[in-house]
């Protein structure tokens, strides 16, 4: 309680949307914890982004790409058969699954790739777990004629063969990472090493709201289009703001994207959903906000899955996109000040929601997004009729066919 009260007293007077501070801190979280070689490039990026975000031409170009290339605005969809089945509040889906490449990730890669070109960097690099951010990066790099290298854990490459092939078809080079657990965090480590060695001509496109300042702020800004659209659409279609907004949280980019425009709407409850894997009590999960503690990894201070010796713990989730030991620093701050609540959903519950949404609405969610749907069903029941729950349906489930089939003993 005292820690919470202390952080509350640090609340900016103008509401929740004023952070980070000039050095990228959200309360005690965020910052720039990178090796000295990267401090210069990170500062160069901060200045370039600061000038770009105030430049109408930059904003116009992003808006044009989001409209014509990504396919925005994405629809707001009332999931009435699902709502009826759940028997409670009305559930609305923000259809990020309908974005080009099948997930919200491209909102961010469009912004960063345009910035890379503006900074005169001909080469972009990215890390990827399931391959969604890698595909989104490769896609935009192809669109803008940039060289693209994607780092991917060798284990993830084996699990996501189709996405590896997709990236290669788009002209990207996919580099397998054999160190550590050979998954997302190791791919991130390797991408940072590449950046250190090639800072002069290379732009690092981080896929989530983590990393050193300005990444958590910049990625949030690019993803906030989700919440801005949804906030207007809810008022237009439902006539009210939602009572609750629900999104899954791995690194947390789709969640912060839909949360941020609602932060100062006190009547709107915000619910982040972490991956509980086999269950938080088993230790086999990926829920740092629920069961981790503050530490420093990948350039920022945030909640982490770390052991008593300060080593990062291996995570587990059926959803590769949530299988990450850290979380964006703004979420860590929102948790501590109490503005957002963070719950968790197991693999099993997410799979059930995957099936339920597929059969009631004809919409097959990504396993990441299925975590949000599972939580929204519980919440809708708790809130009851006459209330509105907005869910960020962050991606489509096509990429998860093999995972779901394997889980159910079906061979494709």
Partner 1 sequence: MSRIEARFKTLSAANRAALIPYIMTGDPSPDETVAVMHGLVAGGADMIELGMPFSDPVADGSIIQAAGERALAAGQRLKHSLAAVRAFRETDQDTPVIFMGYLNPVEIMGTEAFVQSAAEAGVDGLLLVDSPPEESAELAPAVREAGMDMIFLVAPTTSEVRRRRIAELGSGFVYYVSLKGVTGAGGLDVDAVAESLAGLRQHTQLPLGVGFGIRDADSAAAVGRVADAVIVGSALVEHLHAAAGQGEEPARAARQFIEPLREALDGARSGGNAKDVALS
> Which residue's CB is nearer to partner 1, number 314 or number 387?
314
CB of 296 to partner 1, least distance (A): 5
β-pair partners for 256? none
CB of 293 to partner 1, least distance (A): 8
Question: Under a CB-based contact definition with an 8 Å cutoff, are residues 118 and 58 in contact?
Answer: yes
CB of 309 to partner 1, least distance (A): 4
Q: What is the DSSP string of 112-124?
A: HHHHHHHTT--EE
Residues labelled catalytic: 105, 127, 394
> Which residue's CB is nearer to partner 1, number 176 or number 294?
294
Q: Considering all CA atoms of the chain, what is the largest pairwise distance in Å, rounded to the nearest integer?
A: 57
Residue-wise burial string across 19-33, b where 16 or more C-beta atoms lie within 10 A, e elsewhere: bbeeebbbbbbbbbe
Task: Report phi then psi at 9, rounded to 5.
Answer: -70, -15
Angle CA(115)–CA(131)–CA(190) in degrees, nearest 5? 70
> Which residue's CB is nearer to partner 1, number 88 or number 299?
299
* Helix, strand, or coil (residue 387): coil
Phi-psi region of 275 (alpha: psi -120 to 50; beta: other; left: phi over 0): beta
CA distance 412 to 410: 6
CB of 338 to partner 1, least distance (A): 23
CB of 39 to partner 1, least distance (A): 5
List contacts with partner 1 (CB under 8 A): 23, 31-41, 43, 179-180, 185-186, 188-189, 192-193, 196-200, 293-299, 304, 306-312
> Which residue's CB is nearer to partner 1, number 307 or number 408?
307
Q: Cα–chain-centroid distance for residue 4?
A: 25
């Amino acid at each position: 309680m005292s820690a919470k009260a202390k952080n509350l007293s640090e609340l900016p007077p103008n509401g929740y949307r004023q952070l980070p501070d000039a050095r990228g801190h959200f309360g005690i979280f965020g910052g720039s914890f990178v090796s000295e070689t990267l401090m210069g490039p990170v500062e160069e990026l901060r200045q370039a982004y600061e000038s770009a975000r105030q430049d109408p031409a930059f904003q116009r170009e992003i808006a044009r790409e989001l409209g014509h290339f990504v396919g925005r605005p994405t629809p707001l969809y009332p999931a009435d058969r699902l709502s009826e089945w759940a028997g409670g509040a009305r559930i609305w889906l923000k259809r990020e699954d309908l974005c080009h490449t099948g997930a919200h990730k491209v909102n961010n890669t469009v912004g960063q790739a345009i910035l890379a070109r503006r900074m005169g960097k001909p080469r972009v690099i990215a890390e990827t777990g399931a391959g969604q951010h890698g595909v989104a990066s490769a896609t935009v790099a192809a669109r803008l004629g940039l060289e693209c290298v994607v780092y991917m854990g060798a284990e993830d490459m084996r699990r996501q063969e189709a996405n590896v092939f997709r990236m290669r078809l788009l002209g990207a080079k996919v580099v397998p990472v054999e160190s550590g657990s050979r998954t997302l965090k190791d791919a991130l480590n390797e991408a940072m090493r590449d950046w250190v060695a090639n800072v002069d001509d290379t732009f690092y496109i981080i896929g989530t709201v983590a990393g050193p300042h300005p990444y958590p702020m910049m990625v949030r800004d690019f993803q906030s289009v989700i919440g801005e659209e949804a906030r207007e659409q809810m008022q237009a279609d439902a006539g009210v703001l939602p009572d609750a907004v629900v999104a899954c949280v791995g690194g947390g980019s789709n969640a912060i994207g839909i949360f941020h425009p609602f932060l100062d709407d006190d009547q709107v409850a915000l619910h982040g959903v972490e991956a509980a894997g086999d269950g938080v009590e088993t230790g086999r999960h990926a829920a740092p906000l629920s069961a981790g503690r503050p530490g420093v990894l990948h350039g920022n201070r945030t909640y982490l899955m770390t052991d008593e010796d300060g080593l990062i713990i291996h995570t587990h989730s059926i959803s590769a996109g949530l299988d990450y030991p850290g979380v964006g620093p703004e979420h860590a701050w929102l948790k501590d000040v109490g503005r957002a609540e963070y719950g968790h959903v197991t693999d099993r519950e997410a799979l059930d929601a995957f099936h339920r949404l597929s059969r009631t609405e004809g919409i097959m969610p990504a396993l990441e997004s299925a975590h949000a749907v599972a939580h929204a069903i519980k919440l809708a029941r708790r809130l009851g009729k006459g209330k509105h729950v907005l869910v960020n349906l962050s991606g489509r489930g096509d990429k998860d066919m093999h995972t779901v089939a394997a889980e159910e003993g079906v061979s494709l």
